[in-house]
Amino acid sequence: MDEEAGSTTGQGGKEAWAFAAVASAVAMWGYSAVAIKTVSASGLVVAFYRLWFAIPLLWLSALAVPAMRRRLDREWFYGCLAGGSLFGIHQILFFNAIKLTSIANVTIIGALQPVLVLLVAGPMFGETLRRSAVGWAAVALAGTALVVIGSAGTPAVSPLGDVLAFANLFAFTGYFLVSRRVRSGVGAWEYVVGMTTVSGLVITSAAAFVQPDLGAPTGWDWLILLSLAIFPGTLGHVLTNWAHAHVSAFSISMMFLATPVVSSTSALLVLGEIVTPLQVVGAFIVLVAIAATVARAETSVGEELAESVAETDAP
């Protein structure tokens, strides 16, 4: 009995750490949108360096750990091939959308991800959602919409940028769900190593076709690109992929809804973009809805999470 209680307590602790990991990733991704906007180069160029600055460091870490090298097997290869291809497409679409349209538009369109996850997470992962979770998802989406509506008059909106943002929504949702499936048998760190490498090759192929000016970044651009590679680009995805093994796909998606709020705050502090009262109200609604969803997930999905963790090789 004590052993069972200890196991339950340990699982609850991992869930708490997983939610903290996703929250940290959301904070870093919120910063990344502003950072991308400030670099004086095209979206494809920024995506190229964001990946290739990270790839050598990732492989040095993988080669330095014998246990990790042994886990780079066939399952790892095919999982990284699928996830990395989708992630590379997501990077191209996201970085160019950020350059072409407003940060608010890109992030709110991306916040529609839980709607797509709802359609496929159940069949893919056997996750059960109560009606209250769906209701809070609708509240969060409404709050995020207020954030975007309140940002009217900030950076110019481009129809092409909005189209790319919608395409990115599907590419990132595909990457998110494939990653969750792959993580059932592949460790978080080795997955990020392989997935990022495949993504880098996808970006390189696109760059060879488009032939952008890879020498466009200047001065502080290089430091910003390096920070994008290390923090949101690498650490953020390591934390999220680790969290996949401990909390539901829908709960993680709901937490991603905080990204537009973080982006708007970062835009205020770094770019001087005005935050309107309507945006503040929307941000509050989003955060309340996310807190309610996470609290509900800790009780209603607890047994399923315990079974999921028992079947995975989560680090």
C-alpha distance across the termini of the chain, in Å? 26
- The CA-CA-CA angle for residues 88, 94, 100, to 5°, reads 140
Burial 173-201 (b: 16+ CB within 10 A, else e): bbbbbbbbbbbbebbbbbbbbbbbbbbbb
Residues in CB range of 236: below 8 A, 6 or more apart: 24, 25, 28, 29, 32
Contact 85, 202 (CB under 8 A): yes
Nearest to 55 by CA among 271, 200, 226: 200
Instruction: Give the span between the Cα atoms of 178 and 98, in whole angstroms.
Output: 24
Output the tens digit of pLDDT for each of the chain's 315 residues.
455 555 555 556 788 898 899 899 888 888 888 899 899 999 999 999 999 999 998 898 888 888 788 888 889 999 999 999 999 999 999 999 998 887 877 887 887 776 667 666 666 666 666 677 778 878 888 887 887 777 666 665 677 888 898 899 899 888 888 887 887 788 878 888 999 999 999 999 999 999 999 999 999 999 999 999 888 877 887 788 788 778 876 677 678 778 888 887 787 788 776 777 887 888 788 878 877 766 665 444 333 332 332 222 222
Does residue 21 sit in helix, strand or coil? helix
Q: Which helix (H) or strand (E) holds 112?
A: none
